[in-house]
Structure 1
Amino acid sequence: MPNNRAATAPSFTPVDVPRGLSGVVVTDTALGDVRGREGFYHYRQYSAVELAQTRGFEDVWHLLVHGELPDAARGAAFAARTAALRGLPEEVRVALPAIAAATGPLAGLRTALSLLGASLGFRPVYDVDVDRRRADTLAACAAVPTLLTALYRLGRGLEPVEPRDDLPYAANYLYMLTGSEPDPARARAVEQYLISTIDHGFNASTFTARVIASTGADVAACLVGAVGALSGPLHGGAPSRALDTLDAIGTSDRIDSWIRERVLAGDRIMGFGHAVYRTEDPRSRMLRGIARQFGGSLVDFAVEVEHRVEAILAELKPGRELHTNVEFYAGVVMELCGLPREMFTPTFAAARVVGWSANILEQAEDPKIIRPAARYVGPVPPVAVPVAG
C-alpha cells in the first residue's frame, strides 16, 4: 500500500511561542552563545571578553570567519588582505556626498552598502560557493568603516580621509574619522570595545541578517537588513542615550530624584537591563575597567550613577535583576576616546558587521528558508465584499 501521509498531512503544526521569540531555539550555530544567567558569552570556544583583552580585532575576525585563531603569520596575512579591501569603488565614492546630504551615517550606510554590493558584483549567496561568499563578506566588512567615516565627514563639510593599510582596523577607523593618527591607548580601548560587540547571539539585527540569508539573497542585502534592525533605539541606539541620561542628571545630588521619577513613571532607564543577562553584563564590566583606566570626572559620575540606579531599581522593582548593559559604559569609553555621539551606533555597526557576516555564511549553508507563521486575530472570514457606492 502506498504511503500517502505526505499528501494528506497539514503543512505544519502550529506551535505557540513566547512573544518576541524569547528563549526559542531556531537553529544550531557554531559561532558562539550567550549564557545570560552566568553573565558569560563566547565566540566559538573562547571567552569573548578574554579575546578582547588579549587579541586584536583582525584575529577575532579570522576566528569568526575561518573557525580558528590565526598564528602570527596567518594573522598578518589576513590583516593585510582585509586592509587592502578598505578602498571604495569609484561609483560608490562619487555617490557619497549626495547620501551624506540626505541623511546621517547609519541610515546612509544602508544605501551605500546596496551600491557597494552592486558595484562589486555581489551575487545571491544561493548561486555562489563558500569562497565567493566569504570574499564578499570580507569586502563588505572592510569597506564599512570607510563608508561610515566618509559619510560622517561629508555631512560636516569635510573631505573623507582615505584609509591606510598600515593601521589596524580600529586605529584606521579612528584615523579616517578624525584625520589624525590616534593615541595608542585610545585606539586599543576602541578596539577592545569593537571586539566585545562583534557578535552576541541571535539579537534582532543578527536574526534579520540570517532571515534574509535564508532566502539566498546577496551579502549586501543581508547586511542592509541588519543595519536597518540595528537603527532602532531599542537595539543599537542606546550608547548616546545613556550619556544623555548622565547629562540630564547633571550632578550627584539629583541622581535619586531623577531616577525615581522616571522609574515610577514607567520610563526605561537607557543603559540598564538586558533581554538575556540576569546578572551583570560582562561587556559592561570590561568597559567599566577600561573607563577607570582613563579616569576623570565623567567616569566617577558614571560609576556613582550606576550604583544608585541599581539600588533604586532593586528597591522599586524587587525580584528583577537590572544591571548596566554594554551601552552604558560603551558610551563613556567612546566619549573618552573622542568619538562624536552621532558615531556611537555606527561604531557598533563597524564591529557587528563581522558577526553579521559570519552568521550570513553559516546560514547560507542551510537550504531551509526561515518562514514562521502568525495567528490571525482579525474579523472572521469570509465576509462578502460590499458593493462599491
Structure 2
Amino acid sequence: MSESTSVTHLLDPDNAWSVRVRDRLVSLPPDLTELVRHLGTASEFWNWRYKVDTPWKRRTRQLLKADGAEDLVRYAVRELAAKRSFHGAAEENTVIRELGQSRADSPARGLAIGFALAAGWIRQDPGPLAADLALLARKNVQAMEVYHKVDDDLAGAAFASLGELPGPAVLDELWDLHYWVPSARHPHKVLAKSVKKSAARLGVPPHEVAERTVPRHGLEKDGTLTLGWIGRGALWWNLALDAVISVHASGQVTVDWIDKDGTATRTTHPFRSPTGYKSRTWSDDVDGVRRQAKRIETTLAEERTRLRALAGEGRTWCADDWRRFYRDHPVTGVVTRSLNWEYEVSDGGGFRPLDPGAGTDAATLPSTARVRLRAEDSCQDS
C-alpha cells in the first residue's frame, strides 16, 4: 500500500486505543481508507476553542455516505469508550499523573478526535452511540470514580457530537453529563451548548432546562467537596492544599482550611484562609478554592430565587423527577428541604403534606405520584 493510501502513519503502537483498532483500520476498502485519512486531520483545527472547520465538516459528511462508514465510526467510538479510553492510563495508585510534564501528542490523537466529531453526523438511529460518546466524554474529562487521564479536546469533541445527534435518549445522556461533569472543567461550555441545542430540538421548555442544568460544582450528595493532592480529594482537581467546601442544611457555605497537622479552620464568605496559610501552600490554589465556594453561594442564591417564583405557579413534577432534580441535588436540595411540599397519588385523596427531607414519604413515593410546592410557600432566607 502506498503512502497516499495508507493509514499507518495515523496509528501509534504505544497507544492502547490505536492497538485495539489497528487490524480493522489497515484493511479497509479505498473509500473508508479515505475517510480515516481525512478524520486524522482533525487536530489541525480542533483545539481549546472547540470550533469545527466548515470545509472539514462538509467533506466528512460526504465521506460518511460510503457503505460501512457509519458502522466504522460507531466501532471506533465504542473502542474509545472502552477500557481506559484513548490514553490507557492506569488507576491513580499505580501511575504518576505527569503533572507539569509535557509529552508529544500521539499521532493517533487527531484520528480519535476525528472519529468522535464524525459521530455527530451519523444519519441512522444513533442507538448505543450516544451512551458510548457519553462514557468517552466522562472518562476524558475526569468525571469517573477512578482516575483517567484528562483530554479536554477529546471530551469536547464527544460533547459536540452529542449536541448533533437526535432523540430523547441523547438528551438523557446530556442531562446526566451536565450533572456529573464539574462546571469548572474547560470543555463544560461545549456540554452546556449541546444541552441547549438538544433540548430546543425536542421542544423542552426553558423552565425544565433550568431545573435540569443546575450546576453541582463537584459537590457530593452530602453537600461536601473535598479537595487536596492526589488521592486526597476530588479526582478532577489536584491542589497543593487540603480543604473541604460544605453546603449546610441552613444554606450557609463554609470552607474548612486544613493544615498539615490536621487542624481545620472554618471560614465563611468571603472564605479567607487563616493567617500564614497561603505562604505554606500555593496562593493560586487558595484563590481557586475561594472562587469555587463563591460559585456555590451564587448558585444557591439563584436557586432560592427560582424556587420562590415556582411557589405560585402550581406546577407539578412526577416523583422521580422531583427526587432527581430537586430533593437529591446537592445545591437545589438544600433549598428544597427548606420548603413545604405536597403530593398526590391516584387514590382520590387529593394532595397531602410531604416531608422533603429523609422522611419515609419522600423515599417511598410511587413513581406515578405528583409533587408540588404548596401555593402559599416561599423560600426562607438563609
Range of TM-score over shorter length? under 0.3
Give the greater-gyration-radius structure (CA).
2
Write 1 or 2 for the structure with the bigger share of strand: 2
Greater RCO (CA < 8 Å, at least 6 residues apart): 1
Provide the TM-score with structure 2 as the length reference: 0.25
